[in-house]
A = this chain, B = another copy of it.
């Protein structure tokens, strides 16, 4: 229990509260997740975690990510092309712009769009459980 970041501590607490055991492998993955400010996929998280704790297997990465997702600590995104990518849940909800040339991911947030979505659903007799909004973009020159 040495120098875990505050963010990591928070995740550990979340796990313990959910009755999920805090193992070496999970601590490694949590640290890596807390440090990531991109949106890495499972293989990339596995690589990063192995540097901290060489015994983590890819299966454990997937298992832990699924558990964290269920606890609401992590979000899973399935952007076009390639596999799922992950990010730690942070305060405000947001959607994503994907640079189709570089693959870069940019976050944005629009209350107006969210409102319009709710309105549209309501008019059709539905309520929005969750949504997915991705803008595949090219840099303007």
Contact = CB atoms under 8 A, between A and B. Distances in A.
Contacts of A16: none
A17 to B, nearest CB: 27
A55 B128 CA distance: 43
Given A78-B80, A106-B124, A116-B113, A131 B140 contact: no
Contacts of A139: 125-126
The majority secondary structure among interface residues of chain A is: strand
Nearest to A99: B126
Contacts of A120: 97, 108, 110, 135
Interface of A: 78, 80, 97, 99-100, 106, 108, 110, 112-113, 116-117, 120-122, 124-140
